[in-house]
Amino acid sequence: MLDARGDGLPLCRDAHERLFGRGALSGPVLPDRTIAVVDPGADGASAAFELGRRGVGQVLVAPELHDLFARVDAILAGRGRGRIALCLAGGGIEGLLWELGVLRALETCLVDRSLVDLDFFCGISAGSILGALLANGIGPDEILRALTGQGSARLEPIRRYELFDPDIGEVARRLAGLVRELLRGGAGPRGAVSSLARAVPPAVFAGKRLERWLERQLTSPGMSNRFSGLRRPLYVGATDQDTSEAMLFGAKTTPEVPVHLAARASSALVPFYAPVRIGNRWYVDGAFSRTTNMRVAVDEGATLVILVDPLVPVRAPTPGHVRARGGIYGTMQGLKALINGRFDKAVHAIRAMYPDVAFHLFRPEQDDMRVLAGSPMKVFYRREIEEIAYRTTLEQIATQHPTLSRDFALHGVRFRLPASAPRQVVPQDEEERALFDLEALGIEPGHVG
């Protein structure tokens, strides 16, 4: 509670910045659960405007004591236990491996719950494949064994040839069409150029073997390939290639579509993997239209949303760093920059739209970005990428632990750092430290409560 009466506004302004920071998704105290008290009159109106712009939940003008207590009671009672959603973005094979490391780190921090017990999952691109397995009750450790070629009781190991199957059939069809057009004579040089452009196949890999592998896993005993039969709800995002519109697959919208086919469509990252036909429409990677389906998560009742996004561009201080590494590296850098810029705006907008929802974002740090940069097909570094993500995520969790444990506790889940995790050396927990800093500013208990 902030007391902005009299000359208290500057102190409240400093207190707000200490507690919440600027641009942060979350902090030790939630801004919408803050009450400010102002004087009546023009000065109070000006203070109320500034505090409202800063995201303070309620601004009261000279309230009666009983009204103030009633507002506090309403805030304490109003944040009930909602649903927990896990939203996974894309990023090719390297992104999938990085997300897997994040999931394994989160799993070690959940005391009385497993990740597969969260309320529902949203997946886009590589995240849809992970989501399909998580929604079937397969945890991150078991998925990792399959991806590193070991396999498990419920998952076959995935081999390199199942990830990379050159689309030879499509190349042959395009070449045959090109030969026919050239034999007809075309329409001069311009027609020949157009024919050559149409002869370029849409992708390098067909993705059929990956599709069949996923289908085998989801149709094995104890698993479900139907959205309605999953252990937990799953929402998969893809992009209609011809309209560029986002498409959402799930039990409510497309109960007839098999899960494996929706996941394969969502991860059709052209020009690497070919588009997928479902019904009479062609679909490509969901990241072209959405980064994560966080709005879907909120619409489905989530009040705690865990976002995992590996699509972060490299920020190299050396001029020419990206250019020197060739076309694929440069293309992925540009794609990540576009998606990342869109996502940053979206995540802060949705946080402002839904102040009662807690969002926690996990993404690569600067050193991790270099490992993830370049080709999204880094299958040769499977264990290394996953291990780096696991370690750096534990470091992020150590920094954010007070807010993470608070938000999970509000949803009935215990969340704590494992004994082996790195720990932040601080004199108090995050909220106590913030209040200590406020006292250093000279703010008395009457101004902050």
| Per-residue pLDDT tens digits for 302-321 | 999 999 998 877 777 778 87
Q: ∠ CA 355-90-316 to the nearest 5 degrees?
A: 90
Say if residue 54's pLDDT is above 90.
Answer: no
Least confident segment among 55-64, 128-137, 200-209, 331-340:
331-340
Query: How sure is the predictor about 107, in pLDDT bands with cuts at 50, 70 and 90?
Result: very high
Q: What is the pLDDT of residue 29?
A: 57
Annotated active-site residue in 240, 285, 368, 407: 285
Of 58-62, 226-230, 332-336, 338-342, the range with the highest mean pLDDT is 226-230
Q: What is the pLDDT of residue 300?
A: 95
What would the mean pLDDT of 70-80 be, rounded to a whole number?
Answer: 64
Q: ∠ CA 421-422-423 to the nearest 5 degrees?
A: 110
Query: How sure is the predictor about 430, in pLDDT bands with cuts at 50, 70 and 90?
Result: very low
Say if residue 282's pLDDT is above 80.
Answer: yes
Say if residue 445's pLDDT is above 50.
Answer: no
Residue range 337-361, pLDDT digits in tens: 777 778 888 888 898 888 889 999 9
Backbone phi, psi, residue 302, to 5°: -75, 135
Strands, DSSP E only, in 309-447?
358-362
pTM greater than 0.85 (yes/no): no
For 345, residues 6+ apart whose C-beta sits below 8 A from its C-beta are none
Q: Which residue has the higher pLDDT, 98 or 180?
A: 98
Round to whole Å and give the CA distance between 375 and 97: 13
Backbone phi, psi, residue 53, to 5°: -65, -30
Annotated active-site residue in 3, 26, 125, 267: 125
Is residue 125 annotated as part of the catalytic site, yes or no? Answer: yes
Residue range 405-420, pLDDT digits in tens: 989 998 989 999 887 6
Which of 414, 399, 395 has its CA nearest to residue 102?
395
